[in-house]
Structure 1
Amino acid sequence: MRLSLLDRSRTRRGHPASAALEHSARRAVAVESAGYERFWVAEHHAVPGIASGSPAVLLSAIGARTSRIRLGSGGVMLPNHRPLVVAEQFLMLAALYPGRVDLGVGRSLGFTEPVREALGRLEAAPESFAQEIAAVRDHLEGAAPVTAWPADAGDVPLFVLATGTGMDAAAELGLPVVIGGPILDSPELPARLESYRRAFRPHRGSSAQVIVSLDALVADTDEEALELALPEIWAMARSRTTGVFEALEPVDRINAATWSGTESRRVEKGLATTVAGSAQTVRRRLEQIIERTGAQEILATGSTYDREALRTSDRELARVVNG
């Protein structure tokens, strides 16, 4: 079982927003030492809680500070970019860091309507997504009408971040699929994955692959791990009230806040769906998820305010997965 990490460059109360990028780079160095397979970064625009708006720029900096771990995006949002530009950016990365670069793509739009307007894209049809993925791949493989340079940078594996119709696009194009979020708890998931595997059309010898993306945090006890999970879940619960996804806050500040009944229910639900606990608890939860999905890889996405506790959690998660 491979273990990788998606870091969203979360901002933290009391720290400059720009510090989140340095925090991401340091985390990459640490998880490389712990044996993680990949380190992926995110693309979010005009979100106060997330400092990463340009995966290629951040990956270039992280590549310079690491030596083995694969570098990728989780993901580049194709509605925001022209396929040629995406291909050029990741071919440049592949030339700088040979054999280490992945390209994960998604189709999410901006967090709010003003952001979507600023990005110039108000909607993204599933059909367009499949066409845009195919166009990016053509550029990466030198099969497009114009050539993306540097053309000799080597292979850049493509991954599709998918819920629902994204799986159909991945199967049609013969690409690995990354699944996460509410779909992991959906009763329809086994059937969706079976459909993906059955409809899979190999491309250049590819085979169906499933990567499961989930929040995973490890501590000495279940209670301590749930405390680690609280800042991220609180930010999400608050965002549904305020419309703003905010910086991570310390646990004691969150506990001292006045929670509405709705926020309490949202936090409770979030904690219940997060894979947070002792090593034994997390191992059991991951085994259940792997059995249900047939996944070949875990893409951990957990974060918390306390960076030292997060570093320990990342290290312990590697021990849980790798034994």
Structure 2
Amino acid sequence: MSDETGGSSKGNDEIRGVRRGTAPVPLSVLDLVTVGSGQTAGDALRATTAIARLAERRGYHRLWLAEHHSIPGVASSAPAVVLGHLAGRTERIRLGSGGVMLPNHQPLVVAEQFGTLHALAPGRVDLGLGRAPGTDSATAAALRRGRTDGADDFPQQVAELVRFLDDDFPDGHPYAAIHAVPGPVQGKAPGGIQSPARPPVWLLGSSGFSAELAGRLGLPFAFAHHFSAANTIPALELYRHTFRPSAVLDAPYALIGVAALAADDEREARRQVRTGALAMLRLRTGRPGLVPTPEEAETYAYTAAEEEFAESWMANVVHGTPDAVRDGLNALVGRTGADELMITTNAHTPAVRLRSLDLIADAYALPDGPDDSGAPGSS
């Protein structure tokens, strides 16, 4: 393997988004498949499909799904499964994981899953990797079933996964005769035809560990600004300082996740954002549940400490009228130098999330493609 990054030519469009409309950087979407009070997981998955189709039509660059476990209000426990569904219901938008929590999985399984996704949607799949469990410690133990490798072994897991994706373990390696299928080995077989490309690998993080690793490997980096805002600028600075050009990138490329919600007026935006704040409050205090309704969030009896937490959480959500959200996102790009923004919207009602993405697209004059929401197989 020439390096640990793989992928295709430097600065390709699989990594570097194409600017659209008046946005200063490409805009993308992170979806958690959130389940609101009074909704089923099926309702949430249909909403995610609608969001993917709207994001494609409105010119968003990519849509990623996050991996979480044992949280009733988040149904994104199996990103690869949902991505396969979305691949069959979209045509152009990039789809990916934001991310696969690698310590929860064997690298070979991830390589097989994303090789399959790449075969279903060639040139449209991203593989974002994180080192956190995406859950609490007890659930992480259940996922890993006594395995001793974990976050500390993340660099080695990444290297092994990339070897499987590229099918290039050296002679004598214990895995030299093991192949991730679908994958490059099929092109090496007699009569085989296999695309040399494979999903580009991203590293995700909310601290400096993955930022430094992404820089050393020359990989694109995605930072979770939406829940670790205080660490954003230090992590991006570390990533840029440690970056080494690779076969993938000749310069750093940093995406940041940002919570944002646009509504027709400021009061309604605040009312909707409050639901996410209450859901997060319950999660952080060991009471995870479904995303509450706006009415429940308005009538909840907050203690002084809970009110302080909710207000602090809401302060990190760019919300308000479309123009206010556009200005807030532009200011965030100015402060961080981010190369791409990935918007996540935590609200009870799918229609509110869809409307927010539409309003933000309007504020940036993103292109509006044909409305195919009524096409067969759209749900």
Q: TM-score range by the shorter chain?
A: over 0.9
Change over 3 Å in CA distance of 1:50–1:56 after alignment to 2: same
Aligned residue identity for 2:230: D
1:307 aligned residue: 350
Q: 1:122 Cα shift?
A: 8.2
Aligned residue identity for 1:18: G
Unaligned runs of 5+ in 2: 1-24, 170-175, 184-193, 367-379
Within the candidate set 66, 71, 79, 1:42 is matched to 66
Within the candidate set 158, 177, 183, 1:133 is matched to 158
Looking at structure 1, the residues matched to 342 and 148 of structure 2 have their Cα atoms a distance apart, in angstroms, of 27
2:180 aligned residue: 148
Q: Residue 74 of structure 1: SS of its match in structure 2? A: strand
**Residue 281 of structure 2 corresponds to residue 237 of structure 1:** yes
Q: 1:44 Cα shift?
A: 1.1
Q: Which 10-residue stretch deviates more, 252-261 or 30-39?
A: 252-261
Q: Residue 178 of structure 1: SS of its match in structure 2? A: strand
1:248 aligned residue: 291
Within the candidate set 33, 39, 42, 1:18 is matched to 42
Change over 3 Å in CA distance of 1:190–1:271 after alignment to 2: closer
1:31 aligned residue: 55
Per-residue CA distance 1:71-113 (angstroms, 9 max, x = gap) = 1001000011111111111011001111110011101125223
2:116 aligned residue: 92
1:66 aligned residue: 90
Looking at structure 2, the residues matched to 257 and 193 of structure 1 have their Cα atoms a distance apart, in angstroms, of 37
1:178 aligned residue: 222
RMSD: 1.9
TM-score by length of 1: 0.93
Change over 3 Å in CA distance of 1:117–1:194 after alignment to 2: closer
Aligned residue identity for 2:229: L
Q: Contact 2:33–2:45 at 8 Å: present in 1 too?
A: yes
The number of aligned residues is: 320
Within the candidate set 224, 240, 254, 2:268 is matched to 224
2:13 aligned residue: none
Q: 1:123 Cα shift?
A: 7.9
Unaligned runs of 5+ in 1: none
Q: Percent identity?
A: 36
Looking at structure 2, the residues matched to 89 and 12 of structure 1 have their Cα atoms a distance apart, in angstroms, of 29
Q: Based on CA coordinates, which of the two structures has the bigger radius of gyration?
A: 2
Q: Contact 1:126–1:165 at 8 Å: present in 2 too?
A: no
Looking at structure 1, the residues matched to 290 and 83 of structure 2 have their Cα atoms a distance apart, in angstroms, of 22
Change over 3 Å in CA distance of 1:93–1:238 after alignment to 2: same
Q: Which has the higher contact order (CA 8 A, sep 6+)?
A: 2
Looking at structure 2, the residues matched to 54 and 280 of structure 1 have their Cα atoms a distance apart, in angstroms, of 35
Structure with bigger helix share is 1
Q: Contact 1:109–1:124 at 8 Å: present in 2 too?
A: no
Q: 1:125 Cα shift?
A: 5.8
Per-residue CA distance 1:272-307 (angstroms, 9 max, x = gap) = 111111122212211221112211111011121122
Q: Contact 2:67–2:99 at 8 Å: present in 1 too?
A: yes
Change over 3 Å in CA distance of 1:259–1:123 after alignment to 2: farther
Change over 3 Å in CA distance of 1:77–1:216 after alignment to 2: same
Q: Contact 1:109–1:123 at 8 Å: present in 2 too?
A: no
Change over 3 Å in CA distance of 1:288–1:47 after alignment to 2: same
Looking at structure 2, the residues matched to 124 and 303 of structure 1 have their Cα atoms a distance apart, in angstroms, of 32
Q: Contact 1:238–1:263 at 8 Å: present in 2 too?
A: no
Q: 1:124 Cα shift?
A: 6.6
Looking at structure 1, the residues matched to 295 and 248 of structure 2 have their Cα atoms a distance apart, in angstroms, of 52
Q: 1:182 Cα shift?
A: 4.6
1:157 aligned residue: 200
Q: Contact 2:220–2:252 at 8 Å: present in 1 too?
A: yes
Per-residue CA distance 1:35-87 (angstroms, 9 max, x = gap) = 11111112111211111211110000011111111110010000111111111
Looking at structure 1, the residues matched to 283 and 152 of structure 2 have their Cα atoms a distance apart, in angstroms, of 30
